[in-house]
Homo-oligomer: A and B are copies of this chain.
Amino acid sequence: MQVAFTPAELIPIVGATGTRGATSAAITGLASLENAVPGDLAFLGNAKYRSQVAMTRASVVLLPKDFDGAPSDNQLYLLVDNPSVALAQVCARIEQKLWPKPSPGIHASAVIGAGAQVAATATIGPLCVIEAGAVVGERTHLQANVFVGQNAKIGDDCWLMPGVCLSAECILQNRVRLHAGVVVGSDGFGYEFVAGRHEKVPQVGNVLIEDDVEIGANSTLDRARFSRTVIGTGTKIDNLVQIAHNVIVGKHCILCAQVGISGSAVLEDYVILGGQAGVAGHITVGKGAKSGGRAGITSDVEPGKFVNGYPAIPYMLERRLQVLQRRLPELFKRVDSLEGK
């Protein structure tokens, strides 16, 4: 990043309530206390790293107001209510530089089908394709090489990054962010076995992605057989996640990378699944339930439960079984001994 803040610029950004020391350095990077070099901004985000503050080489350090200690030479302490929040404010400024608001308009190289409706405030980047009947809302940004199929609908303030495919008839509500390579609306995986061949079952439903959803790079979401595959408001999905047809994901869920959800499964609101977890078809994971990484959930999970392992069972039981499995060599010896061997 081409970051450059003077200490004087940082004070209002972080809302510093006090300062100690001074530095002549311009801030050109962010780093942890341990890794910082002169020119960096560091922060004390967790009290357990308190002892690292005295040693850090950062030029500016964000510290809680009650921090006790004095800066080194050519070092500035900025005292704030919450150093993590203060850092986020700096990052938000950097983000504006990293991703400047694009100018509205349709790039000359984009291909816009008959009857597509693109809001005047939207930005359609180079080499995008918008098919007939599609709708693109206010301030929505299609970055480059984005495909929007016929009659697909995109709400306001969405951001579709390079190479995204939003297939025909699928719907994005507002403030949806799709990272590069996401595919929304591929066919559900459904076949009937007839006379020695797998005959395709037409997949004629669509995908509905509600407000404030973010989906990571190269994830795939299948259209419903009929009706809808749904991702609820505020849900966040990481990279390389598979959502099969007719899945219903509730609101404010978290699906970590490489998770797979089988057809017609239901995740209620606030479900959290660790990386590489899998959910079998036609089951329900209750509200607020949680799984560890790699859990394989093969039957309904009650609301609020924390499960792990494959097949997934209550987390504490799974940990206990792991410990006992490690003790199997000992157990076999004990049984040998009981048998007089």
Chain A: residues with CB nearer than 8 A to chain B?
A: 1-2, 29-32, 35, 88, 91-92, 94-95, 98-99, 107, 109, 111, 125-127, 129, 143-145, 147, 151, 161-163, 165, 167-169, 179-181, 183, 186-187, 189, 191-192, 196-198, 200-202, 204-206, 212, 214, 216-218, 220, 222, 225-227, 234, 236, 238-240, 242, 244, 252, 254, 256-258, 260, 262, 275-276, 278, 280, 293-294, 296, 298, 310-311, 313, 320-322, 324-329, 331-332, 334-335, 338-339
Q: 8 interchain pairs (CB within 8 A)?
A: A29-B227, A109-B109, A161-B167, A198-B252, A220-B257, A242-B275, A258-B260, A325-B325
Contact B258 A242 (CB under 8 A): yes
Q: For the complex, what is the distance from the CA of A327 to the CA of B329, rounded to whole Å?
A: 11
Q: Bound complex: CA of A310 vs CA of B318, how far in Å? A: 12
B257 lies within 8 A of A239 (CB): no
CA gap between A294 and B293 in the complex, in Å = 12
- Not counting A129-B162, A238-B244, A325-B328, a sample of 5 additional A-B residue pairs whose C-beta atoms are within 8 angstroms of each other reads A95-B204, A143-B147, A163-B181, A165-B217, A278-B293
- Within 8 Å by CB of A328, from B35, B202, B321, lies B321
Is A258 within 8 A of B258, CB to CB?
A: yes
Contact B238 A189 (CB under 8 A): yes
Bound-state CA distance A46–B145 (Å) is 44
Given that A111-B126, A162-B147 are contacting pairs, would A204 and B294 also be in contact in the complex, using a CB cutoff of 8 Å?
no
Q: How far is the CA of A339 from the CA of B340 in the complex (A)?
A: 12
Instruction: Give the oligomeric copy count.
Output: 3
Closest to A187 in B: B179
Instruction: Find chain B residues with CB under 8 A from A242 CB.
Output: 238-240, 257-258, 275
Complex-state Cα separation, A162 to B167, whole angstroms: 9
Q: Is the CB of A217 within 8 A of B220?
A: yes
Q: Are B278 and A260 in contact, CB atoms less than 8 angstroms apart? A: no
Check if B109 sits within 8 Å of A111, measured CB to CB.
Answer: yes
Q: Are B151 and A94 interface neighbours, CB within 8 A?
A: no
The answer to whether A234 touches B197 (Cβ under 8 A) is: yes
Residue among B31, B181, B198, B332 making CB contact with A331, cutoff 8 Å: B332
A2 nearest CB across to chain B (Å): 7
Report the separation of the CA atoms of residues A147 and B160 in the bound assembly, to the nearest whole angstrom: 13
Question: Considering the chains assembled together, what is the distance between the CA atoms of A181 and B178 in angstroms?
Answer: 15
**B276 touching A92, Cβ below 8 Å:** no
- Asked if A163 meets B161 with Cβ closer than 8 Å, knowing A198-B234, A236-B191, the reply is no
